[in-house]
Structure 1
Amino acid sequence: MTTLPGSLAVAVVQAAPIPLDFSAGIDKALRLARDAVEAGAKVVAFGETFLGGYPLWLDEAPGAALWDHPGTRALHAIMLEQAVVANDARLLPLQELADASGAIISIGAHERVRRSLVNNQLTFRPGLPVMDHRKLVPTHGERLIWARGDGSTLGVHQAEWGRLGTLICWEHWMPLARAAMHNLGEDVHIAAWPTVRESHQIASRHYAMEGRCFVLAAGLVQMKDDLLDGLERVGGDEAARELLEAIPAQVLNRGGSLIAAPDTRVLAQAGEGEETLLVELDLGEVSAGLANLDTDGHYARPDVFELTVDMRAKDGVSWTSP
């Protein structure tokens, strides 16, 4: 792809994760990200929890939410054992790819923080530490697996071409989270989803219009057999297998990823299978769109509405030496 002045080549990688087997998932992500970079992409976006796979049993397996369900307990233990951690050496190849290519790579993962799991969208930046965004509110049944994030991971990356930020899934229906991100002046926003169904497409395109930015809505393709294969890869567990086999449907996440312009135009949209969307963005559209709508500027009323964002990390315990 030939990049023109004022343009930015971006890619959304819509692919099937390798559930539960994090090391194999990182290897697959690296291959796909390298392909996108070699095709010219300077921003590469993967969907929510690509590393580890979306925990579909919480929505799809009958009884998964029952107290002390043995299958749910077994899967949670596997996730804790497999999940990435801060400064995880397994992630170093993704950072090295970002460093060598100058590209930004955003990918969702289950992260272990102390003894809990959080949903983190990791952004690998050339020459800089990884930027975290931990999901503020796990949605509905997700609260059975993930702890909440805090304001310390709300932020944007300042690239040479502009600013990039990310939110995860139903955070796009949190009006104050959107307002906070719009205040940070994103030019490109990554909307990470498990699958980009119609309501998710609407939310992503609305975000593009409201924030006057390009939106890369990245989803997954995931099948029931993927879950069973992932379980087999990590040694299996009979209770976990019984729970996954009870899922009635075969196709669980159907892709639907898209790239939207600041005026809501769909620049590219994926089908239900694995594919990579590659688009060259005209960044001039961001400034042009601000002429009639800037929700953080001339279309705001700071004399009427005021938002305070607490960016302190909330660890819950503070230790002091005697």
Structure 2
Amino acid sequence: MSEKLKVAIVQDSPAPLAVAQGMEKVVAKTREAIEMGARVIAFGEAFLGGYPAWLDHVPAVSLWDHPGTKELHALLLAQAIRGDDPRFAQLQWAVDIAGVAVSTGGYERIRNSLYSTQFLFRPKAPVLRHRKLMLSPSERLFLGSGDGSTLEVHQAPWGGLGQLASDEHWMPLARAAMHHAGEAVHVAAWPTVHDISMLASAHYAYEGRTFVLAAGTVQDKAEMIAGYEAAGGDGSARKLLDRLPEGQLQHGRSAIIAPDGVVLAQAGEGAEILLAEIDLGEIPRGLATMDADGQHARPDVFELRIDRRTRTGIVDVREDDSGSKAA
């Protein structure tokens, strides 16, 4: 038995720091992928806002009270996605009309904190958010860590669709939680799909018996500076961005991987839409030899506990109905 599904990765350059312009690009590229027949469309990590390349290339940004870092942080706070952001409307409309699913990374603001979030747009349903659980050392300078409340999988008519970002693919228990949710397709979002990222993505596909869309981005120094200016930068961070290496900073290399770990399609280092037709019938056949959530799980020996409560950082303790203080 086979069930064919066309999937696509949009490997392109974001509009760094300028989220509104980035959303316009997501809409345009989504429509292009839809015209190519794609039913699932994936963008790379932090596409809405751009990956903070200055963290990897300019050591001075980690210095306490660095003026350039402070300005870039303020710009991202001002530009970030908030709640049911009105900038979502056009993309949601396209998703509703075409009946597709679109995953894109971006910056989300909750109160005064920034989170790296994967946004999954679904037909006629609320956007499913996943806030990154595991940050790289440099990302911890300005991003908050997500909690278990956003570790969810969308159940599409053809099967489960989940999403994680970069280093989360090296978290064994996060992988176990997602495998348990029953993914047929998984979006693995990366800034660049390096060799080690490809290894993690292929391992995830084989272990979870799922198709993996390892989605990377492309970005160069000139685009970073153009995005900074479009976002309203006032100049204090320009010297920081000028210190970035010339040329390309992120190199794409996206891939679509089958449940047996075989690469079905792989992109180069430039902008392109990577398309493949997958056969969901491969999943049950593969489960005969690897079922990490079933016959290979050994629940009599191992048990995973997931805390799905939302962690707001504050607990209000008030008087109870009897007038006594709550403990």
Give the Cα separation in 2 of the matches to 1:67 and 1:55.
17
Q: Does 1:193 align with 2:205?
A: no
Partner of 1:7: 4
Give the Cα separation in 1 of the matches to 2:2 and 2:42.
22
Partner of 2:285: 288
Partner of 1:245: 242
Q: Does 1:274 align with 2:297?
A: no
Give the Cα separation in 2 of the matches to 1:197 and 1:122.
23
- What TM-score, normalized by structure 1, do the two folds share? 0.97
Corresponding letter in the other structure for 1:193? W
Q: Does 1:85 align with 2:82?
A: yes
238-247 or 280-289, which deviates more: 238-247
Shift of 1:239: 2.1
Give a deviation string over 1:118-164, Cα, whole Å, max 9, x none: 00000000011000000002111000121000000001000100001
Q: Does 1:299 align with 2:300?
A: no
Shift of 1:236: 2.3
1:9-48 matches, within 5 Å, as 9-48=6-45
Q: Kindly name which structure, 1 or 2, has the bigger radius of gyration based on alpha carbons.
A: 2
Give the Cα separation in 2 of the matches to 1:100 and 1:248.
42
Corresponding letter in the other structure for 1:62? P
CA RMSD, 1 decimal: 1.2
Secondary structure at the counterpart of residue 237 of structure 1: coil
- What TM-score, normalized by structure 2, do the two folds share? 0.95
Q: Does 1:313 align with 2:294?
A: no
Q: 2:258 aligns with which of 257, 261, 271?
A: 261
Partner of 2:214: 217
Corresponding letter in the other structure for 1:57? W
Is contact 1:62-1:247 (8 Å) kept? Answer: no
Give the Cα separation in 2 of the matches to 1:118 and 1:301.
35
Q: 1:231 aligns with which of 228, 232, 244?
A: 228
Give the Cα separation in 1 of the matches to 2:185 and 2:232.
40
Shift of 1:177: 0.4
Partner of 1:176: 173
Identical pairs, percent: 54
Shift of 1:5: 6.2
Corresponding letter in the other structure for 1:27? E
Secondary structure at the counterpart of residue 215 of structure 1: strand
1:84-233 matches, within 5 Å, as 84-233=81-230
Give a deviation string over 1:38-89, Cα, whole Å, max 9, x none: 1111100000010000011111113011111000000000000011111000
Is contact 2:203-2:261 (8 Å) kept? Answer: yes
Give a deviation string over 1:248-277, Cα, whole Å, max 9, x none: 342110000000000011100000000001
Gaps of 5+ in 1: none
Give the Cα separation in 1 of the matches to 2:194 and 2:32.
26
Secondary structure at the counterpart of residue 51 of structure 1: coil
Give the Cα separation in 1 of the matches to 2:81 and 2:236.
24
Give the Cα separation in 1 of the matches to 2:273 and 2:210.
21
Shift of 1:320: 6.5
Give a deviation string over 1:103-130, Cα, whole Å, max 9, x none: 0010001010110000000000001100
Shift of 1:27: 0.5
Corresponding letter in the other structure for 1:212? R
Give a deviation string over 1:289-322, Cα, whole Å, max 9, x none: 0001101101111111111000010011234776
